[in-house]
Amino acid sequence: MLNIIVCVKAVPDPNDADKLKIDPVTKSLPRSDISLVINPLDSHALEAALEIKRNDDAHITILCMGPPPAGNIVKECLALGADKGILLSDPAFAGADAFATAYTLAKAIEKNGAVDLIFCGMASSDGATEWVGPEIATFLNMPVVTMVNEIVENAGDEWIVKADYEHGYRKVKIKLPAVLTVTRNLNQPKALSFSGILKARKKEIITWDLKDLGVPVENVGLKGSPTIVTEMTRLESRREVEILEGSLQEKVDRLIKILKNSGVVNV
Amino acid sequence: MIDFTFTEEQELFRKAAREFAETKIAPHVPMMEETNGGWDEVVKELAEAEMFAVTIPEEYGGLGMGYMGRLIALEEIARVSVATAMMYQVFGLGIEPIMKFGTEEQKKKYLPKFVTGERLPTVAVTEPSGGSDPKGARTTYKKVNDSYVLNGRKCFITNSHIADVQIVLAKDEDNPEAFTAFILEIGMDGFKPTHIEHKVGMRGCNTGEIEMKNVEVPAENVLGGEGKGLKVSMSAIGDAGRGGMVGCALGLQQACLDESIKFSNERILYGKPIGKLQAIQFKIADMKIDLEAGRLLGYRAAAIQDQGGRSSNEFAAAKYYTTEAAQRAAKMAVDIHGGYGCMEEIPVTRFLRDSYVLGPSAGTSDIMKVIVARWAVS
């Protein structure tokens, strides 16, 4: 049986983007009082694991680090078909950069036991560093392929995957256990089903804190983060809407004027 | 303290239902509006999403999610398509009496097939002479040997041309006080759907007439016992029917609110979005207050059912309030849109037409008041 871990991040719901606040001290996005969704690329990572499980004997564990509300995201992953969930939640984990996040996730993976494959989304929609997957691989001394867009062969413990590379792609043979970070081109995640939600009732979610992981407090969260965010600002994007009124000729005249004034046409 | 929050699981149901409505139902809406058809495609989508399994107990292959689960699903579907929600709610109305009054054989025969959508049910009570006074029905049955022979016509039947299992209320030819509910199946000689209605709203929701000419119905197809027809049909309409209409109305109210907020943030007047004007804000506030109040009424009634109680009175109050509120919301949404509110390509015109079909379905507002008054003075 393949033991698969899918790393999932709870990211701010893009529909609530206007409610996001920046912590003026840590320069991070506090997540405890905003609605959270599964990081979109992590949905593709989960779907990759589910596709394997549909054809082979596999056990999928969801691994998520976040505040207690992130437990809902783990539950949703179980409803989508994963077998077990682990939520890493402790105030000490807050403010982690990619390095501290990867360290904490790697320690949890070690604690969880045997693993054959670790799937991550290529990047998160909020941090977007693309580092967590490769750093997990480094901490666990495993090979990694980033930006995987196709699993070509997955028999035995040597897999062939296709991954985005600059303006082309590369085909890579990789020996398990390994870490794969995936792109949105890998698959189309399936929708939540009612029966999946009900099946999740019987599935286990374990919560581990700092003590459970048994790691030094200075290695996790903000304290364990070598990245220093010196400034974070909100991008102001302004959109103006003008509904053209009047006769057809008046509307056309106005449209031409707008296009000329904005430099789109030069007549 | 009373807990008014949805459970984590119910929030996931809502998310799943919303995703389903937005990705699988929304693409069908323009075609439904244009042709007043497309129900076969929509019903297929509902079946694939396990929607028909929602209220059916797990022992018959269903999901056993109860009235709360059904109301959540209905609200999210209606937010995208009231026509689809209406068909879905009436399938639920057809399932209800078999769950509540069916014999074990009837449950085993029909419920697992309803779960998958292989068979589809509806309830046929209303006749040209009216629906709220079922005793005025003219459809009759006569016992002949071991079976019953039905004759008559039913009108304004939702899913008339889709449902292949129809629960028909008829009165004893020899005793006008005795009513019995029968399970009729398409394929029985003399039983067929006839005219298709063209309603002012909910286009694409199948509504029509059915006809029974000397239809011979075996005794095992009597539902709830001979002479118990009024109890069977009124119980289903009072609980599942009115409860379903609440879901349709809440979804429509939410859709009106969503479109109004969107438009009022985009429409510039006097140099600023009209949403900054108090006149518009007050309309938005009225819609929101109505929606919140309606949800409390509706979900409370659903919760009572799921706790094993009956809440046909509570559903009557919720049905009255939410369907009236949906009409108010649609009118305000059209008003906020100004001239655009008269253009068919703008969704609020559909909302206004749909809102007027909510009223009479499962009993008019006046009938709901009669029920609520009876409840209040009892």
Tell me the CATH number at A211. Answer: 3.40.50.620
What is the domain count for chain B? 3
A111 and A22 in a common domain: yes
Same domain flag for B268 and B254: yes
Predicted pLDDT of residue A267? 66
Whether residue B148 lies inside any domain: the answer is yes
Residues 161-200 of A with CB under 8 A from B: 191-195, 197-198, 200
- Are both A182 and A255 inside the same structural domain? no
Are residues A33 and A156 both part of a single domain?
A: yes
pLDDT digit string, tens, across residues B212-228:
999 999 999 999 999 99
Residues B147 and B218 in one domain: yes
Claim to verify: residue A254 and residue A156 sit in the same structural domain: no
Q: Is residue A229 part of a domain?
A: no
Tens digits of per-residue pLDDT, B165-182?
999 999 999 998 999 999
The string of pLDDT tens digits covering residues B109-153 is: 999 999 999 999 999 999 987 767 778 889 999 999 989 999 999
Choose the closest CB to B16 out of A194, A240, A241: A194
Q: Are residues A245 and A211 in the same domain?
A: no
The answer as to whether B3 is a domain residue is no
Mean pLDDT of chain A, nearest integer: 93
Range of the domain at B133: 122-227
B210, B227, B244 - which closes a domain: B227
The answer to whether residues A127 and A246 belong to one domain is: no
Whether residues B264 and B129 share a domain: the answer is no
For residue B333, pLDDT beyond 70? yes
Least confident of A106-120, A223-237, B173-187: A223-237
Contact state of A192 with B8 under an 8 Å Cβ cutoff: no
Q: Is residue B308 part of a domain?
A: yes
Q: Are B222 and B237 in the same domain?
A: no
Residues of A whose CB is below 8 A from B267: 241, 243
pLDDT of residue B132: 73
Whole-number CA gyration radius for chain A? 22
* B319 shares a domain with B210: no
Domain residue limits at A74: 2-219
- Ranking A40-44, A98-102, A165-169, A175-179 by mean pLDDT, the lowest is A165-169
**Statement to judge: residues B184 and B109 lie in one domain:** no
Predicted confidence at residue B134, as pLDDT, reads: 78
Q: Is the pLDDT of residue B1 over 70?
A: no
The reported pLDDT for the residue numbered B38 is: 92
Using an 8 Å CB-CB cutoff, list chain B residues near A194.
13, 16, 49-51, 53-54, 63, 65, 69
A76 in the same domain as A141? yes
B311 in a domain, yes or no?
Answer: yes
Assess whether A155 and A257 both reside in one domain: no
Find chain B residues with C-beta within 8 A of A195's C-beta: 50, 53, 63
State which of B100, B120, B140 marks the end of a domain.
B120
Say if residue B189 is in the same domain as residue B70.
no
Question: Can you tell me the distance from the alpha carbon of B262 to that of B254, in angstroms, rounded to the nearest whole number?
Answer: 12
Last residue of a domain, one of B177, B195, B227: B227
pLDDT surpasses 90 at B98: yes
Instruction: Note whether B72 contacts A: Cβ–Cβ < 8 A.
Output: no
pLDDT reading at B58 higher than 80:
yes
State how far residue A260 is from chain B, nearest Cα, in angstroms: 22
**CATH code of the domain in which B165 resides:** 2.40.110.10
Nearest to B97 by CA among B160, B161, B171, B180: B180
Number of domains in chain A: 2
Position B1 in a domain? no
Interface confidence (ipTM) of the complex: 0.88
Same domain, B287 and B365: yes
Do residues A143 and A245 share a domain?
Answer: no
Interval A23-29 mean pLDDT: 79
Helices B39-48 and B82-101, interaxial angle, to 10°? 60
Within this chain, do residues B54 and B189 fall inside the same structural domain, yes or no?
no
- A234 found inside a domain: no
* Residue B238 sits in the same domain as residue B366: yes
| Same domain as A261, residue A182 | no
Among B9, B23, B51, the residue with its CB nearest the CB of A197 is B9
* Best residue of B15, B77, B88, B270 to probe chain A, by most A CBs closer than 10 Å: B15
Q: Are residues B164 and B247 in the same domain?
A: no
Are both A251 and A122 inside the same structural domain? no
For residue A195, give the nearest of B9, B19, B50 by CB distance: B50
A197–B23 CB contact, under 8 Å: no
* Domain-embedded: residue A256: yes
Residue B351 within a domain: yes
Domain identity same for B53 and B87: yes
- A135 and A43, same domain (yes or no): yes
| Position B340 in a domain | yes
Q: Find, among B300, B273, B357, the residue nearest to B82 by Cα.
A: B357
A233 lies in a domain?
Answer: no
- Per the CB < 8 A criterion, the answer to whether B10 and B65 are in contact is no
